[in-house]
Amino acid sequence: VMLSGIGLPPIQWMTSPFWNFAAASITNIWLGIPFMMIIMLGGLQSIPAEFYDAAEIDGASGWQQFRTITLPMLRPVLTPAVILGTIWTFTEQDFRDLQIWFNLAWTDPDFLAEEPLKGLVDKGRDFIEADKQIIFQVHREIIKGVIPKHKELQDKGQIEITTTPYAHPILPLIYATDLADTGDPNAELPRRFSYPQDAIAHLARSVQIYEDHFGGKPKGLWPSEGAVAQEIVKMV
């Protein structure tokens, strides 16, 4: 109304991304300054003056005092203040939209181009809880199709699949922790541990899982983190 009275067009606060962000930021700063000032003042008053006196004797500059004394001592106060400021700034709708955007961003564009995810992409914002369930259902379907698709491609001869020890352990270290000396003679090691049977069990379990899903024995093995040792070759 005030802008119209002087011949200026009204500002579309909630329809323009720029003005939406500007309005939210200015409002949050205006509301948050008194709270933050009280929090900061209380935190500063709790820092013993002797700390600064000692720092000056040591020749610390103002920046060094801020970095090594003020900031660390204020951290217990700043952390909850920032968390509360974030909670007060964002609404439940904002957090829900962020959750949807996050999950959509981690989804392959091919799936985003098809329904039902395309509808969520087109919607853009103001999502509801049911929209999250739509994404989760699509993600579950994608995950369920990973192994069957790999089996299909392997059966056609288009890809080769290896396996890895069950639970992805570092086999040489299960066999004997002192095998780490081979790669780094100067490494600090814990008290020696050795359980070769466990390494064998991890290999056998991985082969069994592979056979259950792909209908045959694996033709290759990728050691966990590429960790190899002569002692485990005979197990493979």
Q: What is the pLDDT of residue 197?
A: 94
Bridge partners, residue 163, by sequence: 221
Q: What is the pLDDT of residue 169?
A: 92
pTM for this entry: 0.56
Q: What distance in Å separates the CA atoms of residue 86 and residue 82, rounded to the nearest whole number?
A: 6
| pLDDT exceeds cutoff 70 at 229 | yes
| pLDDT exceeds cutoff 80 at 131 | yes
Percent of the chain with pLDDT over 70: 88
Q: What distance in Å separates the CA atoms of residue 52 and residue 35, rounded to the nearest whole number?
A: 26
Of 145, 167, 168, 165, give the one whose Cα is nearest residue 218. 165
Domain ranges of the chain: 10-89, 92-144, 159-233
What tens digit of pLDDT does each residue of 196-224 get?
A: 999 999 999 999 999 999 988 898 888 88
Q: What is the pLDDT of residue 15?
A: 58
Q: What is the pLDDT of residue 128?
A: 95
Q: pLDDT: is 87 or 16 the higher one? A: 87
Q: pLDDT: is 111 or 182 the higher one? A: 111
Which element (helix H / strand E) includes 198?
helix 196-214
Q: What is the mean pLDDT of residues 149-176?
A: 92
Q: What is the mean pLDDT of residues 80-98?
A: 81
Q: What distance in Å separates the CA atoms of residue 154 and residue 160, rounded to the nearest whole number?
A: 6
| pLDDT exceeds cutoff 70 at 186 | yes
Confidence of residue 6 (pLDDT cuts 50, 70, 90): low
Q: What is the pLDDT of residue 38?
A: 83
What tens digit of pLDDT does each residue of 100-119 get?
A: 999 999 999 999 999 999 99
Q: What is the pLDDT of residue 21?
A: 67
Of 97, 117, 101, give the one whose Cα is nearest residue 109. 117
Q: What is the pLDDT of residue 2?
A: 56
| pLDDT exceeds cutoff 70 at 7 | no
Contact 79, 39 (CB under 8 A): no
Of 7-16, 153-162, 171-180, least confident by mean pLDDT is 7-16
| Angle (deg, nearest 10), helices 196-214 and 146-155 | 80
Q: What is the mean pLDDT of residues 137-162?
A: 94
Q: What is the pLDDT of residue 212?
A: 94
Three-state SS string over 40-69 comes to HHHHHHCCCHHHHHHHHHCCCCHHHHHHHH
Contact 98, 112 (CB under 8 A): no
| pLDDT exceeds cutoff 60 at 98 | yes
Q: What is the pLDDT of residue 10?
A: 61
